[in-house]
Amino acid sequence: MDSSHATREQDPFDPGADARYVYLNKNQEHLLVALVSAISNGRERLLVTGGEGAGKTAFLWKLAEVLYASGEVALLGHEMVFSCGPDMPVEAIETSVREHAICGKRERESVPPAVLLLDDADRLDPGVLASLWQRWPTLNEGWPSLCVVMTAMPRPKQLHRRRGHDVMAAEQTFELPPMEPADVEGLIRHRLQVAGLPELELFSPDALERIGYFSKRVPGRIVQLCGHIFSKSKGDISLPVSEDAVK
């Protein structure tokens, strides 16, 4: 493949790309296995935390993909992942849970356990979460078990902001582990491969090091920075991108 210029037909750094583009390092893969195990063991409320851009949403979509592929659970909601908002009433969640279930293609003789994936649960009003737990017994009707997996920012240090975390009442909390220096290149190569550009040498080794430095190895920042550079790489800059171009 001629790597003198990148193709724009497929953008490997599209932040809205599907779960195939999600890159997990070894520690995050172990976390995913532990989370699936907790669901299988009957936990009802699980929480995944991470800072801004840490990849909580991407991780939750990866979990949804794994659960769907297993065919062993029903994912509740219009989509496999339910995106929360600050003005969302509890009725919106309840209606979605009651009326929609997404199951993997697998023949079964019994009703599977159910899982509700709530992304950015800390954006919900604490009263909405409290109301959701009050309605939990009725939402659980018809399912052998019902587990909710939530994502949120880390627990705030300020007392007056902790109520949201307290209301979540998670039985177990999983913190997304940070990325290692080698994961910067791993993430980039993974996205290029999924986009059909496995042989594209987009960045020089020095450029990769600078991307890690400027992004602080935060996945969201890496994707954002690489996306900006990739958008300029059609005729504007030669490849592989140098350290100076990253600066």
Terminal Cα distance for the chain, rounded = 27
> Residue 63 pLDDT more than 90?
yes
**For 66-116, how does the pLDDT look when each residue is reduced to its tens digit (9 = 90+)?**
999 888 888 888 788 989 988 889 998 888 888 877 776 555 567 788 999
Of 205, 229, 230, 225, the residue nearest 215 (C-alpha): 225
Residue 62 is predicted with a pLDDT of: 93
Q: How confident is the model at residue 18 (pLDDT cuts 50, 70, 90)?
A: confident
Residue 174 is predicted with a pLDDT of: 94
Residue 126 is predicted with a pLDDT of: 87
Query: b/e per residue, 113-151, with b = 16+ CB within 10 A?
Result: bbbbbbbbbbbbbeebbbbbbeeeeebeeebeebbbbbb
**For 122-159, how does the pLDDT look when each residue is reduced to its tens digit (9 = 90+)?**
998 888 988 999 988 888 888 888 999 999 998 766 54
Residue 246 is predicted with a pLDDT of: 77
Q: Which residue has the higher pLDDT, 162 or 187?
A: 187
**For 169-219, how does the pLDDT look when each residue is reduced to its tens digit (9 = 90+)?**
889 999 998 899 999 999 999 999 998 888 888 888 999 999 999 999 999
Three-state secondary structure call for residue 117? strand
> Residue 121 pLDDT more than 80?
yes
> Residue 3 pLDDT more than 50?
no
Of 63, 71, 135, the residue nearest 101 (C-alpha): 71
Residue 156 is predicted with a pLDDT of: 65
Q: Tell me the one-letter amino acid at 9.
A: E
Residue 1 is predicted with a pLDDT of: 35
pTM: 0.84
Residue 230 is predicted with a pLDDT of: 80
Residue 6 is predicted with a pLDDT of: 45
